[in-house]
């Protein structure tokens, strides 16, 4: 039996050409693997057939939408993960899922090598190859676009020379990656940091300045950190993300325009749309503020930042990430309740909270009649709390 290469197949120009190129250069048979992560666009059956038409000996399409939502998006919600305090890891959390299925396909189809279509300037090459190394260190990796400096022109020329049945439409000025968790847009005129995004950059969100829309007020219910209902209707995690993408997207919620620190050491201008992701993280953060004890909450914020950095850096399958997962899961035991949130003009504003796990005590918090806080204890507390600073100040001032 001929050697087999399992290719992460998107259906685009580069990975379509890669099927024929890998077969020609290595003599191996190519098995194409496409993953449905809720990215929309083409019918997955069309994508599957295109891979066969381009020379794949087998073409596999996996519907991983629920798996993606439950095993990758949900941990991101529970970690309140925002890389550089802004980016909800739209692309970063999809890569380890693809890696997992690539490795499984290699085992199922007797593959010795896996391949991807990433360039040498981005983060995804790291996420793919480090992930593959963690799950299947015996597999080889081929990266034609990176290792052979492919350009769009070279790919088209190779397709023409080898009669690969591809249809090349007018090239989008942007590089786009999308899934149900969000949409990432880069390159083109966005590479000039002074250029403002134009209307055609966006797809998941409407113009947030279109104030003609009435505000949309909704209630998200969580059970142990899992979104389980919207406005009292039971939903799966995937359904919650999908519905909030639509409802928040109509109000322009979730648009991000940022200069990002890539793992490879360069800064990159990125535009993101993640309406459902940003609403769910906002609501989850607010519920944790009500239900999580102060010292645990303070330490969790440090863990959240490190967790997000590990995921961004392609270390989803690392020992530290696994250990932090266990900590984060433990913190969700009491994160149950309802968050009321208003979507309007690009913002998602929480205006109501309730939980039977709440640590908010009205009688301790109130300044009105019924106050049970013993203020006579505060004077001594303040003196003891500031004592070390006071002693140091006396020394430093020579008092």
Q: What is the DSSP letter of 332?
A: T
Instruction: Indicate which residue of 4, 48, 50, 95 is catalytic.
Output: 95
What pLDDT is recorded for position 1?
A: 63
Top-level CATH class of 176-292+334-354?
alpha beta
Is residue 182 annotated as involved in ligand binding?
no
5: closest CA among 131, 120, 110, 123? Answer: 110
Which residue out of 48, 50, 94, 124 is catalytically annotated?
A: 124
From the list 147, 175, 207, 233, the catalytic residue is: 175
Which residues of the chain fall below pLDDT 50? none
Tell me: is residue 15 an annotated ligand-binding position.
yes
Of 14, 20, 59, 336, the catalytic one is: 14
Angstrom distance (rounded) from CA 48 to CA 184: 24
Identify the pLDDT of residue 371: 86
Concerning whether 223 is annotated as a catalytic residue, the answer is no
CA nearest 177: which of 114, 227, 116?
116
Between CA 328 and CA 42 the distance in angstroms is 36
The pLDDT, as a whole number, for residue 11 is 81
pLDDT, tens only, 199-249: 999 999 999 987 678 999 999 999 999 999 999 999 999 999 999 999 999
Q: What CA dihedral angle connects 273, 175, 99 and 275, to 10 degrees?
A: 10
Inter-residue long-range contacts of 308-311, CB under 8 Å, 24+ positions, other chains counted: 308/79, 308/81, 308/82, 308/83, 308/89, 309/83, 311/76, 311/81, 311/83, 311/89, 311/92, 311/93
Per the annotation, does 124 bind a ligand?
yes
The CA distance from 21 to 26, in Å, is: 8
Residue 95 a catalytic site member: yes
Structure token digits, residue 362:
């009205």
Instruction: Tell me whether residue 123 is annotated as binding.
Output: yes
Domain ranges of the chain: 4-171, 176-292+334-354, 362-397
Q: Which residue has the tokens 């102060």?
A: 294
The correct answer on CATH 1.20.5.470 for the domain covering 362-397 is: yes
8 Cβ contact partners less than 8 Å away, ≥ 6 residues apart = 15, 33, 35, 98, 102, 114, 115, 116, 117, 128
368 annotated among ligand-binding-site residues: no
Active site residue 175: yes
> Over the stretch 94-109, which tens digit does the pLDDT of each residue have?
999 999 999 999 999 9
Domain 4-171 classification at class level: alpha beta
Is residue 124 among the annotated active site residues? yes
> Which secondary-structure segment (H or E) carries 68?
helix 65-68
Residues 6+ apart with CB under 8 A from 9: 15, 16, 19, 32, 33, 34, 47, 51, 56, 59
Say what the pLDDT of residue 241 is: 98
The answer to the question of whether 333 is labelled as a binding residue is no
């Amino acid at each position: 039996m001929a050697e087999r290469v399992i290719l992460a197949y998107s259906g685009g120009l580069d990975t379509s050409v890669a099927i024929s190129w890998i077969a020609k250069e290595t003599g191996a048979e190519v098995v194409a693997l496409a993953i449905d992560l809720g990215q929309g666009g083409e019918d997955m059956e069309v994508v599957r057939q295109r891979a066969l038409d381009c020379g794949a000996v087998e073409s596999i399409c996996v519907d991983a939408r629920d798996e993606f939502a439950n095993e990758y998006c949900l941990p991101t919600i529970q970690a309140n993960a925002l890389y550089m305090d802004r980016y909800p890891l739209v692309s970063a959390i999809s890569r380890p899922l693809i890696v997992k299925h690539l490795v499984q396909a290699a085992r199922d189809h007797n593959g010795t090598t896996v391949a991807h279509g990433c360039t040498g300037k981005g983060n995804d090459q790291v996420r793919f190859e480090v992930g593959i190394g963690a799950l299947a260190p015996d597999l080889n990796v081929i990266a034609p676009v990176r290792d052979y400096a492919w350009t769009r022109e070279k790919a088209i020329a190779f397709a023409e020379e080898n009669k690969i049945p591809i249809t090349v439409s007018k090239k989008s000025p942007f590089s786009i990656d999308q899934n149900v968790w969000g949409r990432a847009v880069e390159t083109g005129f966005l590479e000039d940091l002074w250029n403002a995004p134009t209307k055609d950059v966006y797809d998941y969100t409407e113009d947030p300045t279109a104030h003609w829309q009435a505000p949309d007020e909704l209630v998200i219910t969580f059970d142990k950190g899992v979104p389980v209902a919207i406005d009292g209707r039971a939903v799966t995690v995937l359904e919650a993300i999908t519905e909030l993408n639509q409802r928040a997207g109509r109000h322009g919620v979730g648009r991000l325009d940022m200069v990002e620190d890539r793992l490879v050491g360069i800064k990159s201008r990125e535009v993101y749309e993640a309406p459902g992701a940003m609403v769910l993280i906002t609501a989850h953060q607010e519920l944790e503020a009500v239900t999580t004890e102060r010292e645990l909450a303070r330490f969790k914020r440090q863990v959240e930042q490190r967790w997000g950095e590990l995921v961004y850096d392609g270390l989803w399958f690392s020992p530290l990430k696994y250990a932090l997962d266990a900590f984060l899961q433990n913190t969700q035991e009491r994160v149950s309740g309802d968050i009321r949130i208003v979507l309007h003009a690009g913002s998602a504003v929480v205006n109501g909270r309730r939980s039977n796990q709440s640590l908010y005590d009205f009688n301790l918090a109130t300044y009105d009649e019924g106050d049970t806080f013993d203020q006579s204890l505060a004077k001594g507390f303040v003196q003891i709390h500031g004592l070390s600073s006071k002693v140091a100040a006396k020394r430093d001032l020579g008092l």
